[in-house]
């Protein structure tokens, strides 16, 4: 099964595509979608939307995995901005008729490391190890996206 994990954000959206079978995970593609803060919000959202559509077209995933939205009461604007990016990503998913799954960050971290509150660097090292990468992904957004995809592969195996 081909799984697309996305770590949404307005400035840097990380993505990772993996293939998962019964006992093997392999990296298909991973990277970032970067927008420029000086651009108007509608142009930045358009870039994310169009980039996700192209990514779906190029990689043909069976499912897209997003992190559930978490908002801290001290930073409501962050949740609002993140919600806009998530919205265009979900729209692209619906337009291409792909299944959408969401997991809480703590659930993903627990699936990957055994600890729901694991630090980002631990998730990054685990993703690197599980996919047999030679080096850590440059952006934590990429390792978070790959972590989402890997965690989903574990969740669907557990249901079988």
Residue 114's region, left for phi above 0, alpha for psi from -120 to 50, else beta, is left
3-state class percentages of the chain: helix first, strand second, coil last, to nearest 5: 50, 20, 30
How confident is the model over 44-53, as pLDDT tens digits?
999 999 999 9
Asked if the model's pLDDT at residue 160 lies above 60, the reply is: no
Q: What would the mean pLDDT of 1-18 be, rounded to a whole number? A: 96
> What pLDDT score does 5 carry?
98
Structure tokens belonging to residue 110: 């627990």
Is 62's pLDDT higher than 70? yes
Percent of the chain with pLDDT over 70: 96
Which is more confidently placed, 62 or 155? 62
Task: Over range 130-140, report the average pLDDT.
Answer: 93
Three-state secondary-structure class, residue 38: coil
Average pLDDT over residues 66-83: 76
pLDDT class of 80 with cuts at 50, 70, 90: confident
Is the pLDDT at 73 greater than 90? The verdict is: no
For the chain, helix (H) and strand (E) counts, in that order, are 5, 5
Domain boundaries, the chain: 2-159
User: What's the pLDDT score for residue 159?
Assistant: 66
Per-residue pLDDT at 83 exceeds 50: yes
User: Which residues are tagged catalytic?
Assistant: 7, 67, 141
**CATH T-level topology, domain 2-159:** Nucleotidyltransferase; domain 5 (3.30.420)
Whole-number average pLDDT of the chain: 92
Residue 68 pLDDT level (bands cut at 50, 70, 90): confident
pLDDT at 122 over 50: yes
d(CA 120, CA 62): 27
């Amino acid at each position: 099964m081909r799984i697309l994990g996305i770590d949404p954000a307005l400035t840097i959206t990380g993505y990772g595509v993996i293939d998962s079978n019964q006992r093997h995970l392999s990296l298909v593609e991973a990277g970032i979608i970067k927008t420029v803060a000086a651009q108007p919000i509608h142009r930045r959202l358009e870039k994310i939307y169009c980039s996700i559509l192209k990514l779906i077209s190029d990689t043909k995933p069976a499912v897209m995995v997003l992190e559930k939205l978490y908002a801290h009461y001290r930073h409501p604007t962050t949740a609002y901005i993140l919600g806009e990016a998530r919205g265009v990503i979900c729209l692209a998913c619906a337009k291409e008729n792909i299944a959408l799954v969401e997991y809480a960050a703590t659930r993903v971290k627990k699936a990957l490391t055994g600890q729901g509150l694991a630090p980002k660097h631990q998730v990054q090292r685990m993703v690197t190890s599980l996919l047999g990468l030679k080096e850590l992904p440059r952006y934590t957004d990429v390792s978070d996206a790959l972590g989402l995809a890997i965690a989903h592969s574990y969740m669907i195996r557990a249901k079988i």
